[in-house]
Structures are given as C-alpha cells and as structure tokens.
C-alpha cells in the first residue's frame, strides 16, 4: 500500500478517475476540480498542481489527494493507513492547509504538525448535502434570471462578500460561471437581491455554490427561491444528482436546505497550517 504522486493530470485521471466516478456525490468537489484542470492546468494559479492516489497491494485505488497551490490539499475518504502515509508522501511541500473527511482530520493534522513544525487550527466544518426530493418554499415577489455580462460588477462584490463571510481569502471569478450560464439571480422587480451558482456536471452531479443574499435583503425567502431555481435548472439540463456544501456554523442555511429537501451525506473539516 502506498501513495503515488504526479503533476500530470491525465496520468491521475487514468489512474484514479474510476475511483472518483464510483462515488460521484462524495467526490463532487474533486471531480469538478479534475475536469477544470484537464481543460486548463493553470486555472487555479501559476504553480503546478499535485495529484495523488492510494493503492492497495492489488492495485485498487481507495483514496486520492489533490492540491492546487496556493489552496489547501483536498482528500477523499481515506483508509486509516493512508492518513499517516500522506504526511510522509507530502513532506517538503508548503501546504497552507487541508480539507479532509471529519474522520481523518485529527490524524493528518497531528502528523503534519509534527512533521512540518507548524500550528494547526480548524477554519471551518462543512456538511455535504444531496437533494432527495425538492420541496419548493412559498416564493417571494420577483423572479429568476440568468446572470450576464452586465452583472459582472455586482457579482464580483457579492463573491467577495460571500468569501469574506466564510473566511476564504480568494474569491472565484464570476466569468468562470458566466461562460456556461452558471449563475442565477433572483430579482425582486427592481434589482437582483440574491444569487446561486452551479457547477458544470461531473459524473452526473451538479453542485450548487455561492448562495448569497446581502444582509439587508435576508429573511425574505430569496435564498430559498434562487436555490430551488438553480436545482431545477440543473435537473432540467440532465443532472442525476444535485448537491451543495454548507458551513456547519451557520444553522440558518443548514435548516433551509433541509426544508428544501436536501439530506446530509458527509461531514468535512478544513484546517489551516501556520508557522
């Protein structure tokens, strides 16, 4: 049993693609990252990403990792021996943090703390939800529309505000989503009041992301309405599964998504490493 690392996305895709596609719900983030990097290896930054897979003695892949500097390394679910072995496999890399299943975070964090001489602290605890049966809420005034080029300035501000709220340092570029019609806006008849983005399909799964309503507009049902619209759009375009991630520190959003018909799948923890 051992980790194998590569900087070649196609080598990784050949070796570990079947493993990722075997659980498209749990692996939705990783599948999206891999497909994006296959299109543009420098999409997330100028440095080479690193890819890794954990194989059994029989050659069966049972865990993967992926890091796109300067972002944290992200792991799939891992067999217990793979957790400590990952510390050795990644030794010498300047990891800013890690995104792991809740069951693996303590083991990897303790090992990396000792190996790299860093401090570790939890940035966020998240939960992955899957849509089981959509339960539309009463709709607020207004309607939904696709975001377009004229909305870019608004979206950039909302993206920054969203990432500030969840503690992420580098917001995504709205143009990445606009290129395939990936952002929906709820408009109250005067102006946009809420947004939701969705990923492109990966192994049949679409992930709803960046659900954001400015504080002054909250409590009026806009987030639920635009989330339902994003889910329906994904289903209409052939998505077999619709998923989303939440911050467990936000009880409002977790309660909302469960009312809409989303059910928990997996808990993860994001940790940061500092000198």
pLDDT of 130 higher than 90: yes
Residue 227 to residue 206: CA distance in whole angstroms = 13
How much is the pLDDT for 169? 64
Confidence of residue 170 (pLDDT cuts 50, 70, 90): low
**Tens digit of each residue's pLDDT (9 = 90 or more) over 59-98:** 899 999 999 998 999 999 999 999 999 999 999 999 999 9
Arithmetic mean of pLDDT, 178-183? 94
List, for residues 93-129, the tens digit of each pLDDT value.
Answer: 999 999 999 999 999 999 999 999 999 999 999 999 9
Confidence of residue 44 (pLDDT cuts 50, 70, 90): confident
Are 186 and 142 within 8 A, CB to CB?
yes
Q: How confident is the model at residue 34 (pLDDT cuts 50, 70, 90)?
A: very high
Residue 141 has pLDDT above 90, yes or no: yes
**Distance of CA 44 to CAs 21, 22, 83, 155, Å?**
22, 25, 25, 19
* Mean pLDDT value across the chain: 94
Mean pLDDT of 28-53: 92
Longest dimension (CA), the chain: 62
CA angle 241, 30, 164 (to 5 degrees): 95
Residue with tokens 């497909």: 35
* pLDDT in the model for residue 251: 94
Q: What are the structural domain ranges in the chain?
A: 2-117, 131-265
pLDDT of 167 higher than 80: no
CB burial of 232-263 (b: ≥16 within 10 Å; e: otherwise) equals ebbeeeebebbbbbbbbeeeebbebbeebbbe
Structure confidence at residue 181 (pLDDT): 94
In CATH, 131-265 is 3.40.630.30: yes
Average pLDDT over residues 130-135: 96
Task: Tell me what pLDDT residue 173 has.
Answer: 86
């Amino acid at each position: 049993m051992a980790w194998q690392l590569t900087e070649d996305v196609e080598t990784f895709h050949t070796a570990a693609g079947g493993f990722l596609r075997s659980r498209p719900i749990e692996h939705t983030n990783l599948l999206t990252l891999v497909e994006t990097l296959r299109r543009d290896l420098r999409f997330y930054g100028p440095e080479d990403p690193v890819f890794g897979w954990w194989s059994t003695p029989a050659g069966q892949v049972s865990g993967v990792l992926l890091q796109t500097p300067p972002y944290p390394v992200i792991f799939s679910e891992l067999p217990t021996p793979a957790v400590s072995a990952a510390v050795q496999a990644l030794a010498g890399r300047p990891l800013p943090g890690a995104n792991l299943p809740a069951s693996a975070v303590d083991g990897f964090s303790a090992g990396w703390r000792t190996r790299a001489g860093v401090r570790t602290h939890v940035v966020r605890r998240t939960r992955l939800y899957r849509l089981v049966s959509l339960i539309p809420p009463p709709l607020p005034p207004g309607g939904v529309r696709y975001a377009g080029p004229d909305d870019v300035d608004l979206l950039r501000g909302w993206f920054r505000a969203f990432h500030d709220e969840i503690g992420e340092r580098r917001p995504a570029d709205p143009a990445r989503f606009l290129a395939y019609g990936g952002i929906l806006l709820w408009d109250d008849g005067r102006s946009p009041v809420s947004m939701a983005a969705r990923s492109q399909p990966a192994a049949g799964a679409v992930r709803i992301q960046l659900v954001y309503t400015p504080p002054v507009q909250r409590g009026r049902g806009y987030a639920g309405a635009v989330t339902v619209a994003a889910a329906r759009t994904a289903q209409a375009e052939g998505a077999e599964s619709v998923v989303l991630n939440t911050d467990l520190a936000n009880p409002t959003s977790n309660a909302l998504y469960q009312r809409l018909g989303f059910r928990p799948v997996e808990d993860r923890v994001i940790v940061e490493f500092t000198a």
